[in-house]
């Protein structure tokens, strides 16, 4: 019986035959199947795929395919196509589609082979076994196996909310966030009381940078299940990311009242203390987490971010290395590897530092969707085409006359936090941190933004809504700073809404900037930061777009601030910045490191130090590792 279950000869033969038939049909219909991007051929390929899937149903439908046989069929199909010379990326797409289709026909085929029906009891037992198998696969990190289990469950019963939830978890772990979001929303649609699906939906929204959207499903999960500690801790994290630190603190404290040894809540409190500049209190919170769980790797990693490490911290790095090699999840190991990299950078062991950061990024990349270089270049092309000087000139008359918004933009790690801290040290200014308003607005209107300028009603509404957001942050400040680096992409739309707003663009040495991004554990949404070649591509596109904005925006609204010159001549540039913003001189802006305010960025420690120049040409410590970034250097 076992041999029969494992005998996949027929399945392998069917896979090979399907590949041969697909290649024959594709050759006859003339699309170039060696490439996925030939202009004008995608529609033909889609029709070919539809015919191919119908053939899959006919060929595989009569077979009684278990997991093993489906894998053999798909594997034979894949390698046969590769032998035929079809482009590997297209082969991967076809194989994934085949696996999904096979999962869909497997259960109906089994029922047909048994005489056209299966008893309800048998079907329920099959579903129960698949659920158990899926949960076990998720627990051991076998996400592809879990994906197959839950796909089969959904094919058995499309109204199984738990199956859609499990399928979403597997997809999210494979960084297929769009598909995961769809599955969680289906699970909720089928059973609105599915608290876990609400919680998981929030996790996907957090991973894709949509923090404001994640709050609602988390609160819904807690309403359905007030004792849901994981959801409460996750809500605390969302509130931290939104800059609502007092609410986040209260949320973590509520979690700790129910679960006093919850390490994630303790670390969350420590992070809040750090963001507020209370580094001793932050360390105490991290150490309380370690008292609760000595193996809490994220608590151990957090200690490295509170100060500059020295050789005296040898015990810290020894323990960090032990934890990193103890079989952690990819995310937890990545977090530790980033911290270990910081230690070695701080003590001057640059080779070990780079190797640690390299390993960290390899692990971190598993949580992110691949960076789409061609797609991003098309995005930049579209903005340059739409936001011409004539278009922006014509939009100014209907724009808001408010001068309250100040946009500090640039690449991540280019000095935006420093400039925000300088401005926020002025008595008539307020630093609002990295607001998500414009990236979210651009996400909602992306297709329109890339075709044509926003209409006047949309711009009026955006102006009203944004000024309300700024008012909630500071009702009395003359200038409010939004230092979201991603706003650099949207300066044309922003200017069409606020033509009198001031924009400060931070320009730092490109290799320093990109290397600093590579050394930082950003959210998965910033997928271009995890690979030096991706960073080089993204930076070139960023520079191309900023060159355009500089040429089309009025000179009186745009000030370029060179990071190296700011650190070399702090007072000259501080005076220039304040004059540009229409603010009177205040010497206190030179003492920005004394300003007491939350700083919710990766530079939380740096902006509380006096200005320093050690970050200028820092990349030369890593000269032999930065090959993909060479050529980014800018004159002057």
* Residue-level pLDDT at 242: 87
Q: Is 112 helix (H, G, I), strand (E, B) or coil?
A: helix
Which one of 79, 96, 111 terminates a domain?
111
Q: Is it the case that residue 227 has pLDDT exceeding 70?
A: yes
- Cβ(104)–Cβ(43) under 8 Å? no
Q: Which pLDDT score, from 0 to 100, does residue 63 have?
A: 66
How far is the CA of 250 from the CAs of 72, 245, 254, 549, in angstroms? 53, 9, 6, 42
Contacts of residue 173, defined as CB under 8 A and 6 or more positions apart, other chains included, come to 138, 141, 143, 146
CA atoms within 13 A on the CB side of 228: 22
**In-domain check, residue 183:** no
Helix (H, G, I), strand (E, B) or coil at 560: strand
The share of the chain scoring above pLDDT 90, in percent, equals 59
Residue 32's domain comprises: 2-111
Q: Are residues 284 and 412 in the same domain?
A: no
Judgement on whether residues 445 and 583 belong to the same structural domain of the protein: yes
Q: Is 301 among the domain residues? A: no
- The number of folded domains in the chain is 3
| Together in a domain, 245 and 391 | no
Predicted pLDDT at 53: 73
Residues 236 and 378 in one domain: no
Residue 454's pLDDT is 86
- CA 282, CA 538: separation in Å to the nearest integer? 35
Residue 426 in any domain: the answer is: yes
- 60 plus 198 within the same structural domain: no
Decide if pLDDT at 492 tops 90: yes
Q: Are residues 412 and 534 in the same domain?
A: yes
DSSP class of residue 618?
A: G
Could you tell me how many residues make up the chain? Answer: 636
Residues 6+ apart with CB under 8 A from 241: 206, 211, 600
Would you say residue 493 has pLDDT above 80?
yes
Q: Is residue 132 part of a domain?
A: no
282 and 381 belong to one structural domain: no
Buried-exposed string 247-282: b where 16+ CB fall within 10 A, e elsewhere: bbbebbebbbeebeebbbbbbbbbbbbbbbbebeeb
**Order of strands, sheet of 479-482, starting from the edge strand that comes earlier in the sequence:** 429-431, 479-482, 405-409, 502-507, 558-562
Round to whole Å and give the CA distance between 605 and 590: 17
Last residue of a domain, one of 111, 136, 159: 111
The per-residue pLDDT for 107 is 44
According to the model, what pLDDT value does residue 20 have?
A: 82
- For position 347, what pLDDT does the model report? 95
pLDDT of residue 226: 96
Average pLDDT estimate for 537-558: 96
Indicate which CATH number applies to the domain containing 201.
Answer: 1.25.40.10
CB 513 within 8 A of CB 415: no
Which residues face 558 on adjacent strands?
503
Decide if 287 contacts 273 (C-beta within 8 A): no
Q: What percent of the chain has pLDDT over 70?
A: 86
Q: How confident is the model at residue 47 (pLDDT cuts 50, 70, 90)?
A: low
Q: Give me the mean pLDDT over the 267-282 stretch.
A: 92
Residue 30 above 70 pLDDT?
no
Examine the domain organization and report whether 417 and 532 are in the same domain.
Answer: yes
Per-residue pLDDT at 265: 97
pLDDT (mean) for 421-436:
92
Same structural domain, 475 and 572: yes
Residue 380 neighbours by CB distance under 10 Å: 16
In angstroms, how far is CA 503 from the centroid of its own chain? 25
Helices (H), 569-610: 570-580
Best CA proximity match to 428, nearest among 578, 561, 604, 559: 578
In the chain the first and final C-alpha atoms are separated, in Å, by 75
Evaluate whether residue 321 is within a structural domain. no
Same-domain status, 237 and 384: no
Please state the pTM of the whole predicted model: 0.74
Which of 96, 111, 126 corresponds to the end of one domain?
Answer: 111
Q: Same domain for 401 and 532?
A: yes
Least confident of 332-336, 407-411, 437-441: 437-441
Question: Using one digit for the tens of pLDDT, what is the confidence trace for 118-163?
Answer: 455 567 788 888 999 999 999 888 899 999 999 999 988 899 999 9
Q: Is pLDDT of 33 > 50?
A: no
In this structure, is residue 208 part of a structural domain?
yes
- 277 within domain boundaries: yes
234: helix, strand or coil: helix
Residue 429 has pLDDT above 70, yes or no: yes
> How sure is the predictor about 114, in pLDDT bands with cuts at 50, 70 and 90?
very low
The answer as to whether 358 is a domain residue is no
Distance CA 90, CA 101 (A): 16
Report d(CA 166, CA 131) in Å as an integer: 8
Q: What is the 3-state secondary structure (H, E, C) of 305-326?
A: HHCCCCHHHHHHHHHHHHHHCC
Tokens 């003339």 belong to: 30
CATH no. for residue 423? 3.40.50.300
Residues 300 and 320 sit within 8 Å (Cβ to Cβ): yes
Mean pLDDT of 405-426: 93
pLDDT at 597: 44
Instruction: Say yes or no: 263 and 392 in one domain.
Output: no
Cα torsion 591, 594, 597, 599 to 10°: value is 80
Q: Say yes or no to pLDDT of 35 above 50.
A: no
17 CB-side CA count, 13 A: 11
Largest CA-CA distance found in the chain, in angstroms, rounded: 87
Nearest to 363 by CA among 339, 331, 336, 338: 331
């Amino acid at each position: 019986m076992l041999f029969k279950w494992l005998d996949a000869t027929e399945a392998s033969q069917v896979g090979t035959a399907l590949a041969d038939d697909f290649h024959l049909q594709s050759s006859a219909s003339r699309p170039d199947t060696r490439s996925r991007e030939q202009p004008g051929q995608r529609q033909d390929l889609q029709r070919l795929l539809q015919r191919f899937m119908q053939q899959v149903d006919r060929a595989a439908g009569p077979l009684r395919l278990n997991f093993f046989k489906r894998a053999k069929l798909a594997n034979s199909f894949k390698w046969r196509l590769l032998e035929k010379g079809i482009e590997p990326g297209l082969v991967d797409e076809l194989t994934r589609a085949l696996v999904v289709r096979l999962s869909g026909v497997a259960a109906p085929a089994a029922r047909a082979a048994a005489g056209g029906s299966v008893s309800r009891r048998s079907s329920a037992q099959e579903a129960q076994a698949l659920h158990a198998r899926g949960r076990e696969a998720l627990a051991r990190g076998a996400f592809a196996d879990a994906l197959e289990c839950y796909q089969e469950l959904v094919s058995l019963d499309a109204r199984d909310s738990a199956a859609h939830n499990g399928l979403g978890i597997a997809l999210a772990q494979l960084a297929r966030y769009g598909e995961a979001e769809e599955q969680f929303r289906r699970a909720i649609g089928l059973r609105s009381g599915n608290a876990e699906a609400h919680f998981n939906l929030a996790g996907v929204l957090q991973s894709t940078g949509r923090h404001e959207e994640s709050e609602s499903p988390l609160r819904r999960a807690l309403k359905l299940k007030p004792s849901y500690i994981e959801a409460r801790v996750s809500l605390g994290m969302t509130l931290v990311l939104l800059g609502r630190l007092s609410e986040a603190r209260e949320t973590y404290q509520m979690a700790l009242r129910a679960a006093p040894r919850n390490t994630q809540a303790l670390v969350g409190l420590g992070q809040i203390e750090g963001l507020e500049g209370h580094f001793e209190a932050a360390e105490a919170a991290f150490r309380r987490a370690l008292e609760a769980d000595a193996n809490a790797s994220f608590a151990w990693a957090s200690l490295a971010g509170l100060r500059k490490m020295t050789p005296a911290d040898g015990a810290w790095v020894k323990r960090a290395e032990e934890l990193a090699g103890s079989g952690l999840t990819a995310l937890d190991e990545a977090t530790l590897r980033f911290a270990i990299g910081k230690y070695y950078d701080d003590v001057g062991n640059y080779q070990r530092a780079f190797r640690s950061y390299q390993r960290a990024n390899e692990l971190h990349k598993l949580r992110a969707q691949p960076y789409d270089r061609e797609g991003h270049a098309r995005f930049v092309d579209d903005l340059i085409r739409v936001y011409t000087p004539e278009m922006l000139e014509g939009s100014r008359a209907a724009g808001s006359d408010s001068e309250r918004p100040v946009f500090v933009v640039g690449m991540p790690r280019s000095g935006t936090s420093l400039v925000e801290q300088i401005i926020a040290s002025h008595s008539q200014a307020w630093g609002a941190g990295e607001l998500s308003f414009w990236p979210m607005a651009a996400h909602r209107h992306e297709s329109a933004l890339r075709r044509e300028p926003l209409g006047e009603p949309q711009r009026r509404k955006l102006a009203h809504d944004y000024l309300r957001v700024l008012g909630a942050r500071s009702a009395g400040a003359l200038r409010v700073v939004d230092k979201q680096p991603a706003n650099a992409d949207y300066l044309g739309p922003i200017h069409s809404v606020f033509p009198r707003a001031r924009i400060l663009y931070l320009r730092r040495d490109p290799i320093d900037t990109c290397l600093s991004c590579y050394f930082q554990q950003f959210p998965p949404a910033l997928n271009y930061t995890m690979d030096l070649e991706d960073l080089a591509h993204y930076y070139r596109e960023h520079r191309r777009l900023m060159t355009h904005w500089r040429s089309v925006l009025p000179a009186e609204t745009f000030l370029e601030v060179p990071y190296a010159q700011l650190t070399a001549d702090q007072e000259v540039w501080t005076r220039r910045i304040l004059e540009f913003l229409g603010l009177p001189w205040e010497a206190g802006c030179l003492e920005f490191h004394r300003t007491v305010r939350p700083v919710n960025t990766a530079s939380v420690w740096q902006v509380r130090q006096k200005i320093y120049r050690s970050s200028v040409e820092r990349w030369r410590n890593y000269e032999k590792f930065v090959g993909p970034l060479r050529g980014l250097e800018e004159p002057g």
